[in-house]
Amino acid sequence: MKKVSFICLLVCLAAGLYAQEAGGDSAPKAAIGIGPEWNMNSRDNFAMGGVFGFDFNLGTSFAVGLTTAYSNNFSGIQVIEPAALFRWYFLTKDHTGLFVQADLGAYLILEDGDFTPMFLGGLRGGLRLPLGVMFYVEPFGRIGYPFAFGVGALAGVRF
């Protein structure tokens, strides 16, 4: 746990180095967001959860980062989904608008005292809508293995 906390802190601090550039370019280089999600992280029914994401912009239309989701079906199954994200924005060059994202990571199931780790692979599509220069909202949908689908929205800050 200490290693994960240290890596997250290091990524956050390193992202701050790129917050200001010489030459007056004030385009945001990174974003952080949080929001709800409705998904199929259950055997028989649906689950509700929360999503946390951090992404760092590379080039004019590509971003990489980390995402973590937690889901609970309220009848004994809890799922944690830490994953790396690889995002491509198309039709725009300012890291807003329509995007397609690949998620690769772990799918950790906690059920009746048992712990089952699995591989996670998914595709996400969405729309990042800027609210001024700093804030955004981002509705999204995703499909993948082993969760089948998820629908949610993030609200966040670009810096």
pLDDT tens digit sequence for 44-58 = 889 999 999 999 999
Question: How sure is the predictor about 19, in pLDDT bands with cuts at 50, 70 and 90?
Answer: very low
Mean pLDDT over 89-99 rounds to 91
CA distance 66 to 88: 14
Tell me what pLDDT residue 103 has.
98
Mean pLDDT over 126-151 rounds to 95
Question: How sure is the predictor about 1, in pLDDT bands with cuts at 50, 70 and 90?
Answer: low
Tell me what pLDDT residue 44 has.
81
Domains of the chain: 28-158 (2.40.160.20)
How many residues can be counted in the chain? Answer: 159
The token pair at 122 is 């998914």
What is the sign, positive or negative, of the torsion defined by CA atoms of 27, 19, 17, 140? negative
3-state secondary structure 25-74: CCCCCEEEEEEEEEECCCCCCCEEEEEEEEEEEECCCEEEEEEEEEEECC
Q: Check whether 118 has a pLDDT greater than 50.
A: yes
